Amino acid sequence: MAVESARYLDGYRLEIQFSDGQTRIIDFRASIERQEVPEYRVYLDPEKFKQFAIEGGNVVWGEDWDLVYPVWKLYEGVV
């Protein structure tokens, strides 16, 4: 299973399409708010949040994959 594409919707929500054709809409706000590492909380800035990328079948934030979620959790809609 891999992430094929992701599209920003609004707030902290992304529409994510997976390699099997399934699509999920995921709101990341609560998950980012729960992060204890201050470097991850910078993605509460809407402009920073929008700067995600698809790399290696994952949705990632930051050049060094500062913030990344297991693909199976995204598929289940649990972040």
Q: What is the pLDDT of residues 15-45, one digit of tens each?
A: 999 999 999 999 999 999 998 888 888 999 9
Given a contact cutoff of 8 angstroms between Cβ atoms, the answer to whether 15 and 25 are in contact is yes
Q: Is 26 exposed, middle or buried (CB count within 10 Å of its CB: 0-12, 13-18, 19+)?
A: buried
Residue 49, Cβ neighbours under 10 Å: how many?
20
Whether the pLDDT of residue 78 is over 90: the answer is no
pTM over 0.85, yes/no? yes
List pLDDT tens digits, range 40-71. Answer: 889 999 999 999 999 999 999 998 888 999 99
What does the block give as tokens for 65?
A: 């994959």
- Into which CATH architecture does domain 3-76 fall? 2-Layer Sandwich (3.30)
Element (H, E) at 18: strand 13-18
